[in-house]
Chain A
Amino acid sequence: MAERPRIRLPKQAKKGEVIEIRTLLPHLMESGQRKGPDGKVFPRKIVNAFTCEFNGQLVFSATLEPAISANPYLQFSARVEESGTFRFAWTDDDGTVITADESITVT
Protein backbone atom coordinates (compact mmCIF):
# COMPACT_ATOMS: atom_id res chain seq x y z
CA MET A 1 0.00 0.00 0.00
CA ALA A 2 2.03 2.88 -1.23
CA GLU A 3 -0.64 5.08 -2.67
CA ARG A 4 0.00 8.78 -2.63
CA PRO A 5 -1.89 10.88 -0.12
CA ARG A 6 -3.99 13.77 -1.36
CA ILE A 7 -3.44 17.08 0.45
CA ARG A 8 -5.12 20.45 -0.04
CA LEU A 9 -3.87 23.64 1.54
CA PRO A 10 -3.33 27.20 0.32
CA LYS A 11 0.05 28.00 -1.32
CA GLN A 12 0.11 31.43 0.29
CA ALA A 13 -1.20 32.97 3.49
CA LYS A 14 -0.90 36.12 5.59
CA LYS A 15 1.12 36.04 8.81
CA GLY A 16 -1.06 34.82 11.68
CA GLU A 17 -3.76 33.47 9.38
CA VAL A 18 -5.54 30.24 10.30
CA ILE A 19 -5.57 28.04 7.21
CA GLU A 20 -7.59 24.93 6.47
CA ILE A 21 -5.82 21.68 5.58
CA ARG A 22 -7.57 18.70 4.01
CA THR A 23 -5.90 15.30 3.75
CA LEU A 24 -6.96 11.94 2.37
CA LEU A 25 -4.92 8.75 2.22
CA PRO A 26 -6.16 5.96 -0.07
CA HIS A 27 -6.28 2.97 2.30
CA LEU A 28 -8.70 0.09 2.85
CA MET A 29 -8.79 0.51 6.67
CA GLU A 30 -9.63 -3.18 7.15
CA SER A 31 -11.46 -3.09 10.46
CA GLY A 32 -10.84 -6.64 11.67
CA GLN A 33 -14.63 -7.08 11.93
CA ARG A 34 -15.35 -8.11 8.36
CA LYS A 35 -15.68 -11.80 7.43
CA GLY A 36 -15.00 -13.49 4.09
CA PRO A 37 -17.29 -16.10 2.51
CA ASP A 38 -15.29 -18.79 4.40
CA GLY A 39 -16.36 -17.21 7.69
CA LYS A 40 -12.82 -16.13 8.55
CA VAL A 41 -12.28 -12.59 9.72
CA PHE A 42 -10.02 -10.42 7.55
CA PRO A 43 -7.20 -9.42 9.88
CA ARG A 44 -7.22 -5.79 10.99
CA LYS A 45 -5.00 -3.48 8.96
CA ILE A 46 -5.61 0.20 9.41
CA VAL A 47 -3.74 3.46 9.51
CA ASN A 48 -3.59 3.96 13.25
CA ALA A 49 -1.82 7.31 13.57
CA PHE A 50 -1.50 10.61 11.76
CA THR A 51 0.69 13.61 12.52
CA CYS A 52 1.07 17.07 11.03
CA GLU A 53 4.16 19.16 11.82
CA PHE A 54 5.07 22.62 10.64
CA ASN A 55 8.80 23.44 10.51
CA GLY A 56 9.41 20.53 12.88
CA GLN A 57 6.78 21.52 15.47
CA LEU A 58 3.68 19.46 16.10
CA VAL A 59 0.41 21.10 14.96
CA PHE A 60 -2.09 18.26 15.09
CA SER A 61 -2.09 14.50 15.55
CA ALA A 62 -4.68 11.75 15.59
CA THR A 63 -4.99 8.20 16.84
CA LEU A 64 -7.38 6.38 14.53
CA GLU A 65 -9.50 3.35 15.37
CA PRO A 66 -11.11 0.83 12.99
CA ALA A 67 -14.28 2.97 13.15
CA ILE A 68 -12.63 5.48 10.79
CA SER A 69 -13.88 4.97 7.22
CA ALA A 70 -11.76 3.61 4.37
CA ASN A 71 -9.54 6.25 2.75
CA PRO A 72 -9.15 8.19 6.01
CA TYR A 73 -10.06 11.84 5.55
CA LEU A 74 -8.95 14.49 8.00
CA GLN A 75 -9.63 18.21 7.82
CA PHE A 76 -8.08 20.51 10.41
CA SER A 77 -6.53 23.95 10.83
CA ALA A 78 -3.12 25.52 11.33
CA ARG A 79 -2.03 29.04 12.30
CA VAL A 80 0.95 30.11 10.18
CA GLU A 81 3.36 32.77 11.42
CA GLU A 82 6.17 32.19 8.90
CA SER A 83 6.89 30.51 5.59
CA GLY A 84 7.79 26.88 5.86
CA THR A 85 6.95 23.26 5.25
CA PHE A 86 4.23 21.04 6.57
CA ARG A 87 5.12 17.39 7.04
CA PHE A 88 2.29 14.88 7.12
CA ALA A 89 2.80 11.28 8.27
CA TRP A 90 0.47 8.29 8.34
CA THR A 91 1.43 5.11 10.25
CA ASP A 92 0.07 1.75 9.08
CA ASP A 93 -0.52 -1.20 11.47
CA ASP A 94 2.34 -2.99 9.65
CA GLY A 95 4.74 -0.22 10.69
CA THR A 96 4.97 1.49 7.29
CA VAL A 97 5.04 5.27 7.51
CA ILE A 98 3.82 7.28 4.54
CA THR A 99 4.98 10.89 4.52
CA ALA A 100 4.31 13.95 2.40
CA ASP A 101 5.58 17.54 2.48
CA GLU A 102 3.81 20.73 1.41
CA SER A 103 5.29 24.20 1.61
CA ILE A 104 3.54 27.52 2.13
CA THR A 105 4.64 31.12 1.62
CA VAL A 106 3.61 33.45 4.42
CA THR A 107 3.70 37.22 3.86
Chain B
Amino acid sequence: MRPLSRRAALAALGASSAALALVGWSDSVSATVDEAAAEIAKFTGGKTATAGRIAIELPEVAENGNTVPLRITVESPMTAADYISDVLVVADGNPRPGVAAFKFTPMAGKADISTRMRLAATQNIIVVAKTGKGELFTARRQVTVTVGGCVG
Protein backbone atom coordinates (compact mmCIF):
# COMPACT_ATOMS: atom_id res chain seq x y z
CA MET B 1 0.00 0.00 0.00
CA ARG B 2 1.38 3.35 -0.96
CA PRO B 3 0.78 6.29 1.41
CA LEU B 4 -2.06 4.43 3.10
CA SER B 5 -0.81 2.61 6.17
CA ARG B 6 -2.42 -0.61 7.30
CA ARG B 7 -3.62 1.12 10.46
CA ALA B 8 -5.20 3.98 8.50
CA ALA B 9 -6.77 1.49 6.11
CA LEU B 10 -8.35 -0.51 8.90
CA ALA B 11 -9.57 2.66 10.62
CA ALA B 12 -11.09 3.85 7.34
CA LEU B 13 -12.75 0.47 6.85
CA GLY B 14 -14.30 0.60 10.30
CA ALA B 15 -15.48 4.17 9.80
CA SER B 16 -16.90 3.53 6.34
CA SER B 17 -18.78 0.39 7.33
CA ALA B 18 -20.25 2.25 10.31
CA ALA B 19 -21.31 5.05 7.96
CA LEU B 20 -22.81 2.55 5.54
CA ALA B 21 -24.78 0.95 8.34
CA LEU B 22 -26.24 4.36 9.13
CA VAL B 23 -27.24 5.23 5.58
CA GLY B 24 -28.66 1.80 4.89
CA TRP B 25 -26.22 -0.82 3.62
CA SER B 26 -28.97 -2.96 2.14
CA ASP B 27 -29.82 -0.33 -0.50
CA SER B 28 -26.29 -0.13 -1.84
CA VAL B 29 -26.03 -3.92 -1.89
CA SER B 30 -29.19 -4.40 -3.92
CA ALA B 31 -27.92 -1.84 -6.44
CA THR B 32 -24.88 -4.02 -7.07
CA VAL B 33 -27.07 -7.12 -7.21
CA ASP B 34 -28.98 -5.45 -10.07
CA GLU B 35 -25.73 -4.49 -11.79
CA ALA B 36 -24.52 -8.07 -11.46
CA ALA B 37 -27.76 -9.31 -13.01
CA ALA B 38 -27.34 -6.82 -15.87
CA GLU B 39 -23.77 -8.03 -16.46
CA ILE B 40 -25.01 -11.63 -16.63
CA ALA B 41 -27.87 -10.71 -18.98
CA LYS B 42 -25.35 -9.09 -21.34
CA PHE B 43 -23.36 -12.33 -21.36
CA THR B 44 -26.33 -14.68 -21.82
CA GLY B 45 -28.21 -12.43 -24.24
CA GLY B 46 -31.17 -12.61 -21.86
CA LYS B 47 -31.43 -16.41 -22.10
CA THR B 48 -31.78 -18.55 -18.98
CA ALA B 49 -28.77 -20.58 -17.90
CA THR B 50 -29.22 -24.11 -16.53
CA ALA B 51 -27.86 -24.74 -13.05
CA GLY B 52 -25.06 -27.30 -12.98
CA ARG B 53 -21.85 -28.59 -14.59
CA ILE B 54 -19.83 -25.86 -12.82
CA ALA B 55 -17.81 -26.37 -9.65
CA ILE B 56 -16.75 -23.24 -7.76
CA GLU B 57 -13.99 -23.69 -5.19
CA LEU B 58 -13.82 -20.87 -2.67
CA PRO B 59 -12.94 -20.65 1.00
CA GLU B 60 -16.07 -20.69 3.23
CA VAL B 61 -14.61 -17.75 5.08
CA ALA B 62 -12.12 -15.41 3.40
CA GLU B 63 -10.09 -13.66 6.08
CA ASN B 64 -8.41 -11.26 3.69
CA GLY B 65 -10.69 -9.80 1.03
CA ASN B 66 -7.68 -8.55 -0.93
CA THR B 67 -6.78 -11.99 -2.16
CA VAL B 68 -9.46 -14.66 -2.19
CA PRO B 69 -8.51 -17.83 -4.07
CA LEU B 70 -11.05 -18.96 -6.66
CA ARG B 71 -11.12 -22.07 -8.81
CA ILE B 72 -13.73 -22.81 -11.45
CA THR B 73 -14.08 -26.14 -13.21
CA VAL B 74 -16.69 -26.79 -15.87
CA GLU B 75 -17.43 -30.36 -16.97
CA SER B 76 -16.79 -30.63 -20.68
CA PRO B 77 -15.02 -33.01 -23.10
CA MET B 78 -13.36 -29.90 -24.65
CA THR B 79 -13.51 -31.31 -28.19
CA ALA B 80 -14.08 -29.21 -31.32
CA ALA B 81 -17.74 -30.33 -31.30
CA ASP B 82 -18.41 -29.77 -27.62
CA TYR B 83 -16.37 -27.35 -25.54
CA ILE B 84 -16.71 -24.48 -23.10
CA SER B 85 -15.98 -21.24 -24.95
CA ASP B 86 -16.66 -18.58 -22.31
CA VAL B 87 -16.84 -18.28 -18.54
CA LEU B 88 -18.05 -15.13 -16.80
CA VAL B 89 -17.38 -14.43 -13.11
CA VAL B 90 -19.47 -11.83 -11.29
CA ALA B 91 -19.46 -10.72 -7.63
CA ASP B 92 -22.71 -9.14 -6.44
CA GLY B 93 -21.36 -7.18 -3.46
CA ASN B 94 -18.31 -5.38 -4.88
CA PRO B 95 -18.28 -1.73 -5.99
CA ARG B 96 -18.38 -3.09 -9.53
CA PRO B 97 -19.77 -6.55 -10.26
CA GLY B 98 -17.29 -7.74 -12.92
CA VAL B 99 -14.44 -10.02 -11.81
CA ALA B 100 -13.21 -11.65 -15.02
CA ALA B 101 -14.28 -13.20 -18.31
CA PHE B 102 -12.38 -16.21 -19.61
CA LYS B 103 -12.28 -17.67 -23.13
CA PHE B 104 -11.24 -21.22 -23.91
CA THR B 105 -10.60 -23.08 -27.13
CA PRO B 106 -10.63 -26.91 -27.42
CA MET B 107 -6.81 -26.66 -27.16
CA ALA B 108 -7.23 -25.81 -23.48
CA GLY B 109 -8.07 -29.50 -22.85
CA LYS B 110 -9.98 -28.65 -19.67
CA ALA B 111 -12.21 -25.76 -18.65
CA ASP B 112 -10.38 -25.26 -15.39
CA ILE B 113 -9.16 -21.89 -14.13
CA SER B 114 -7.74 -20.61 -10.85
CA THR B 115 -7.10 -17.02 -9.86
CA ARG B 116 -7.27 -14.68 -6.86
CA MET B 117 -9.78 -11.89 -6.45
CA ARG B 118 -10.68 -8.93 -4.27
CA LEU B 119 -13.95 -8.99 -2.36
CA ALA B 120 -15.28 -5.93 -0.53
CA ALA B 121 -17.72 -7.80 1.71
CA THR B 122 -19.62 -11.05 2.24
CA GLN B 123 -21.38 -11.75 -1.05
CA ASN B 124 -22.26 -14.21 -3.81
CA ILE B 125 -19.96 -15.28 -6.61
CA ILE B 126 -21.93 -16.11 -9.74
CA VAL B 127 -20.38 -18.04 -12.62
CA VAL B 128 -21.96 -18.47 -16.06
CA ALA B 129 -20.43 -20.76 -18.71
CA LYS B 130 -21.20 -20.87 -22.42
CA THR B 131 -20.47 -23.80 -24.73
CA GLY B 132 -19.40 -23.50 -28.37
CA LYS B 133 -23.00 -24.38 -29.29
CA GLY B 134 -24.40 -21.59 -27.12
CA GLU B 135 -25.69 -23.71 -24.19
CA LEU B 136 -25.56 -21.86 -20.87
CA PHE B 137 -24.77 -23.16 -17.40
CA THR B 138 -24.58 -21.34 -14.10
CA ALA B 139 -23.61 -21.78 -10.45
CA ARG B 140 -23.29 -19.54 -7.41
CA ARG B 141 -21.51 -19.67 -4.07
CA GLN B 142 -21.63 -17.39 -1.08
CA VAL B 143 -18.38 -16.34 0.51
CA THR B 144 -18.00 -14.74 3.93
CA VAL B 145 -15.39 -11.99 3.99
CA THR B 146 -13.89 -10.98 7.35
CA VAL B 147 -11.80 -7.98 6.24
CA GLY B 148 -12.83 -6.59 2.87
CA GLY B 149 -10.51 -5.76 0.00
CA CYS B 150 -11.02 -2.58 -2.08
CA VAL B 151 -10.36 -0.49 1.04
CA GLY B 152 -10.50 3.18 0.06
Contact = CB atoms under 8 A, between A and B. Distances in A.
Interface of A: 18-19, 31, 33-37, 41-42, 54, 57-70, 72-79
A37 B115 CA distance: 30
B108 A67 contact: no
11 contacts: A33-B150, A58-B105, A62-B102, A63-B100, A65-B96, A66-B96, A67-B98, A67-B99, A69-B68, A69-B116, A74-B115
B134 interface: no
B113 A37 contact: no
A72 B115 contact: yes
Given A34-B4, A36-B3, A69-B117, A77 B112 contact: yes
Interface of B: 2-4, 8, 66-68, 71, 78, 91, 94-96, 98-110, 112-119, 149-152
B99 A76 contact: no
Contact of B113 (A66, A72, A75): A75
A38 B105 CA distance: 46
Given A36-B2, A36-B4, A41-B152, A73 B114 contact: yes
Most buried by A among B2, B4, B118, B119: B118
A70 B66 CA distance: 8
Nearest to B87: A62
Nearest to A31: B150
For the complex of A and B, the 5 pairs showing the least CB-CB separation, nearest first, are A79-B109, A18-B109, A75-B114, A65-B98, A77-B110
